[in-house]
Amino acid sequence: MKKAIVIGASSGIGEAVARVLANNGYEVGLTARRFELLEKLQKEIPSRTYIRRMDVTRREETAATLEDLIKEMSGLDLIVLNAGINVSTPDLKHEKELETVDVNVSGFVLCADIALKYFTAQKSGHIVGISSIAGLRGSATCPAYSASKAFVSNYMEGLRHRVRSTDIYVTDIRPGFVDTEMIKGFRHLFWVAQPLGAAEQIFSAIKNKKKMAYITRRWNIMAWLLRWMPDWMYAQRYRERI
């Protein structure tokens, strides 16, 4: 039986991915800050599960917890790095911006590097990072979030080149809008996917060892538009929001 760990599995995309992996025969390790939600999820998942409380901003504790979890599971084939936050504030409070960077960048790097070290020794494995279509352009309402997701995508690309010619795979997942807590209160939403549907597409990308995938697939169109949209047109989107 294959074994996977989902970092940030208590709700949203992470929870849905954990369910899909379990339904497809994986033993699943689940980590998050909200342990009580992991306990609830563990009771609902059909396969064998392991749960750990983890706050990726606590670096030494996170490293020890992840390494111990891999040992308890007696191996690892796949890790999904989903822990992330998005704080949108009109006055850009620096403490919230720094918290976003601490979780989405520093916490991500820590978990990715531990996984890479393990997979390198094992000579096989699959690292999946959840970035965002928001990483394609800077955001006036949540600049730290969009910058952090651009970091994730670029870091994943770097890891992919680093493990070329090996049996280690790296997949960058770029969701659009998914109906989770993260988008509550946002206006002008469209193409909003349900978490389970998004997770099924993520699993398809994992099975096919995709380098990168937009979730849902229609966001390929928006990604193309965002890349080529003139700066003045892109900036117009924010004039009514700030």
Is the pTM of the predicted complex or chain greater than 0.95?
A: no
pLDDT of res. 179? 83
Domains of the chain plus CATH, in order, are 3-236 (3.40.50.720)
Instruction: For residues 211-223, give the mean pLDDT.
Output: 92
Report the distance separating Cα 167 and Cα 99, nearest Å.
Answer: 34
pLDDT in tens, 111-163: 999 999 999 999 999 999 999 999 999 888 888 999 999 999 999 999 999 99
Q: Identify the residue with better confidence: 206 or 89.
A: 206
Mean pLDDT of the residues in the chain: 90
pLDDT at 104 over 60: yes
Say if residue 239's pLDDT is above 60. no
Residue pair 152/109 in contact by the 8 Å Cβ criterion? no
| pLDDT tens per residue, range 1-12 | 899 999 999 999
* 240 pLDDT tier (thresholds 50, 70, 90): very low
Identify the weakest region by mean pLDDT among 87-91, 176-180, 229-233: 87-91
Q: How far apart are CA 196 and CA 179, in angstroms?
A: 10
Query: Are 239 and 214 spatial neighbours (Cβ–Cβ below 8 Å)?
Result: no
Upper half-sphere CA count for residue 83 (Cβ side, 13 Å) = 30
Query: What amino acid occupies position 183?
Result: I
- State the helix-helix crossing angle for 108-122 and 143-162, rounded to 10 degrees: 10
Specify whether the CB–CB gap between 86 and 97 falls below 8 A. Answer: no
Provide the pLDDT confidence category of residue 185 given band limits of 50, 70 and 90. low
What is the tens place of the pLDDT at every residue in 50-101? 999 999 999 999 999 999 999 999 999 999 999 888 776 555 667 888 899 9
In the predicted model, is pLDDT for residue 241 greater than 70? no
Looking at residue 237, its pLDDT comes to 59
Residues carrying an active site annotation: 145
DSSP H or E segment with residue 228: helix 219-228
**How high is the pLDDT of residue 91?**
59
